[in-house]
A = this chain, B = another copy of it.
């Protein structure tokens, strides 16, 4: 009698960038009852015709979007959430891309990699809630309209720059309803730095050498380097106002020693000729260190080499600088 409906109206969500991560979590939200539309470029025709099939360790399922767009539309009805699954790349302006669909009450959910990725979007939409999200998942887009979910899947969500809100809680409940473990964090920026402890060493090293995590840890000097980079991330995070829990370096190392050999997303991106998230994973951290007056020589070295790799790569003909350019998010 006094039960309050959790979803008084159908929640309206627009997924921008439906690569592996964006597509998977968009599909989960649809499964939870939300009205999920998608913007996709290269897979547009396939997804419009047949939706997205997800082969998942948690059980295969199918996602038929409410609507499929080739570029971000000005929606007839305002969106409750825009779920951004785009890669974080210098040539992509998330703000420019999503602007047509941002209404006064639209929360912008950045389901992306790296640190310090929120500020430009928050500045572009100062009156909108920015929800920062971290996906802990192994998921690949295997073909147009096909996603393969290999393992994990949990999310961390939090209001940016900190705290929580009804919209964050509502989104978290939607994810939980679709069997997606979702941790609501009141310090999501700290969580981003914490995730970087692992990403900052393993992504660049694995990509440069073509090695998996086990091979990296088997060489004493390389394992030592991994630890030094991790410690440096902790120093920069603390200087940036986000001290990480003590013992986190050891925990990351122990966990990686225990887990099966793993190929990082940066290595997979390079092997597939896709752009790599060098700025989100290293450039922003190096700049944060610089801003805080801190030396970050380990990351600076990795970053200096990675920028040369990016410069050496073939020009990305399919990437255009512009308002409505959509690139699908990576896994």
Contact = CB atoms under 8 A, between A and B. Distances in A.
Interface of A: 205, 208-211, 215-216, 218-222, 224-226, 228-229, 297-298, 300-305, 307-309, 311-312
Contact of A221 (B220, B226, B304, B312): B304
Contacts of A304: 205, 219, 221-222, 224-226, 228
Contacts of A312: 209-211, 215
Contacts of A228: 297, 300-301, 304
Contact of A209 (B215, B218, B225, B309): B309
B225 A311 contact: no
A300 B302 CA distance: 11
A309 B225 CA distance: 14
A221 B305 CA distance: 8
Contact of A208 (B219, B221, B305): B305
A215 B309 CA distance: 10
Q: Is the interface of A mostly helix, strand, loop or mixed?
A: helix
Nearest to A223: B304
A35 B303 CA distance: 52
Contacts of A216: 308
Nearest to A282: B221
A307 B208 contact: no
Contact of A302 (B226, B229, B301, B308): B301
Nearest to A226: B304
A219 B307 CA distance: 7
Counting from the closest, the 5 A-B pairs by CB-CB distance are A225-B304, A297-B297, A301-B301, A221-B307, A222-B308
Nearest to A217: B308
Contact of A308 (B215, B298, B300, B307): B215
A226 B300 CA distance: 11
A275 to B, nearest CB: 16
A232 B297 CA distance: 11
Contacts of A225: 300-301, 303-305
